[in-house]
A and B are shown apart, each in its own frame.
Chain A
Amino acid sequence: KAGVTQTPRYLIKTRGQQVTLSCSPISGHRSVSWYQQTPGQGLQFLFEYFSETQRNKGNFPGRFSGRQFSNSRSEMNVSTLELGDSALYLCASTRDTNTGELFFGEGSRLTVL
């Protein structure tokens, strides 16, 4: 059974650009969550999607957005990149949104220059 797949794994952008990250969840998992991980802030929740609907959103500016498609694949977009957006972006999926554990991808490491 394939795990959670995130692309690209690494990318470098410059300030002001925008970026789109992709996440394919485990087959059958309808919930996809995104987290930003930085050394100083730890794991910060960005948003969660279930059946193409955003159900939860963390405390991030509107430059951070996401969506989920009918096949449960999800994308997140960051516009007008800032240096502080450099981070590891992790995607996680789960089958059971009440008690189930999260299954994480390897992450997309974004560097903003």
Chain B
Amino acid sequence: AQSVAQPEDQVNVAEGNPLTVKCTYSVSGNPYLFWYVQYPNRGLQFLLKYITGDNLVKGSYGFEAEFNKSQTSFHLKKPSALVSDSALYFCAVRLNSGGYQKVTFGTGTKLQVIP
């Protein structure tokens, strides 16, 4: 079955340290992968996406993600975490559903940056 998974419910990191939020996928064909962030009581905001090309994708707020086809992963990274990065992060994939593209989200990872 085609799916996307976020194995960690929560990630804690100290301010200034590098952060990684993990995402793995299971799809047939070429995946279109996305990361979104959600702050409390708000909608989701787009961070970055991988469609094709360079495996390292740079996005908003200093975030980047690396597409790894052999490991079927698309981990979100940032070199130096800020307290303001604390939020809920969702990985998503566009899947072909009945001839149309449907977006499926992972279960979300809560990132807590500790001052």
Chain A residues in the interface with B (C-beta under 8 A): 4, 6, 33, 35, 42-43, 45, 48, 50, 55-56, 90, 92, 97-99, 101-107, 109
Check B49 against A43 for contact (C-beta < 8 Å).
Answer: no
From known contacts A43-B90, A98-B94, A99-B49, infer whether A90 and B102 are also in contact, taking CB-CB under 8 Å: no
* Top 7 closest pairs, chain A to chain B, by CB: A104-B43, A101-B46, A43-B105, A104-B44, A42-B107, A55-B100, A99-B51
Question: In chain B, residues 61-107, which have Cβ atoms closer than 8 Å to a Cβ of chain A?
Answer: 90, 92, 94, 97-98, 100-107
Residue of chain B at shortest CB distance from A99: B51
Contact of B108 among A35, A42, A45, A107 (CB under 8 A): A42
Q: Which residues of B contact A105 (CB under 8 A)?
A: 43
B41, B43, B49, B106: most-surrounded residue (chain A CB, <10 A): B43
Chain B residues in the interface with A (C-beta under 8 A): 32, 34, 36, 41-46, 49, 51, 90, 92, 94, 97-98, 100-108
Nearest chain B CB to A9's CB is how many angstroms away?
9
List 13 other contacts, CB 8 Å, given A42-B108, A48-B100, A97-B100: A4-B43, A43-B108, A45-B105, A55-B98, A56-B102, A92-B43, A98-B32, A98-B94, A102-B36, A102-B46, A104-B45, A107-B43, A109-B41
Q: Which residues of A contact B45 (CB under 8 A)?
A: 104
Q: Which residues of A contact B46 (CB under 8 A)?
A: 101-103
Contact of A45 among B36, B103, B107 (CB under 8 A): B103
In angstroms, Cα B83 to Cα A100, docked, is 29
Check B42 against A106 for contact (C-beta < 8 Å).
Answer: yes
Check B32 against A99 for contact (C-beta < 8 Å).
Answer: yes
Q: Which residues of A contact B108 (CB under 8 A)?
A: 42-43
In angstroms, Cα B10 to Cα A3, docked, is 30
Contact of A102 among B44, B51, B97, B106 (CB under 8 A): B44
